[in-house]
Amino acid sequence: MAAGWLRPEVPRVYAVAGAPESWHRHLRAGLLSLGPAAAVSHRAAAVIHGFDRSHPGAVEFTLPRSGRGRRVPFTVHTSGHLGRTDVLTVDGHRVTSATRTVIDLARLRVPPAEIEAAIDSAVRLQLSSPIVLEKRLGELRGPGRWGCRLLDDLLLDSGGHTMLERRFLRLVRTAGLPRPRPQVVQRRGSRTVARVDFLYDEFRLVVEVSGKTGHSSPAERSKDAHRRNELQEMGWVVYEYTWHHVNHETDYVRRTLTARLARAGWTP
């Protein structure tokens, strides 16, 4: 330190002088200072897991209650229920699991859209599932734990990979229609034909929802046509709704999907 090679970073941690400031450096320094029981959590963990609508900047940690009182210039939460399944190592950082991170975000009272994005991202990235989230939420639920009821509501329409798929599932639920299976892989033998957005097994129906831009290049349209044709050869009837349909023509979606399910044998 006297020679200028090292400088204090946070309590009990020193840094090489001149090393560039970075978000990852703050996370590493915090973990070293707080000790081996600490974990990156909440919005910082959401970034590490790659959740949608998460942005580097927040430096947050969770400690067991026994570690309360340790001082670092970052946000430190404490928990009496930090189980072994709640923590793992990602990119060298000890971090709360995707499941625990979603639950912690709900408790932090972040905007519901951010929690929805976290749920859908965790499912899409295969880091968690609605069933796992419901199970762990049930284990952590207790009096005074804000966010549990909100998460219950948001899990009702989970299972898809995007906000558009979530809105479609909500539309189906509020219309009183049967819920399809989301994100189902269709195969012919050992070959994958497609991962479809929604599947009604009993009625042999596939429903796809396409985003604002959709597949616009000739190669993408050709691939979509091959995919659709092969699904129809396999005995599936394929329907598609666009972003505009799901968001602005909900009556059209309800009316046509109800009629299509009824023709396939569904009884309201």
In tens, the pLDDT along 5-27 reads: 999 999 999 999 988 889 999 99
Structure tokens at 116: 């929805």
Residue 151 vs residue 145, higher pLDDT: 151
pTM of the model: 0.87
Topology of the domain comprising 163-263: Endonuclease; Chain A (3.40.960)
Structure tokens at 46: 């959401």
Task: For domain 6-155, give the CATH number.
Answer: 3.30.460
Q: Which of 33, 16, 38 is nearest to 93 (CA)?
A: 38
State the number of CA atoms in the 13 A half-sphere of 254 facing the CB.
14
Q: What DSSP letter does each residue of 204-229 carry, written as one string?
A: TEEEEEE-SS---SHHHHHHHHHHHH
Contact, 89 vs 28, CB < 8 A? no
Residue 51 vs residue 145, higher pLDDT: 51
| pLDDT on residue 134 | 95
Q: What are the residue boundaries of the structural domains of the chain, listed by start?
A: 6-155, 163-263
Q: For 161-175, what is each residue's pLDDT tens digit?
A: 999 999 999 999 999
Residue 218 vs residue 217, higher pLDDT: 218
Task: Provide mean pLDDT across the span 37-45.
Answer: 96
Q: What angle do the packed helices 42-49 and 112-124 form, to 10 degrees?
A: 40
Taking the C-alpha atoms of residue 67 and residue 34, their distance in angstroms, rounded to an integer, is 8
Contact, 110 vs 148, CB < 8 A? no
| pLDDT on residue 33 | 93
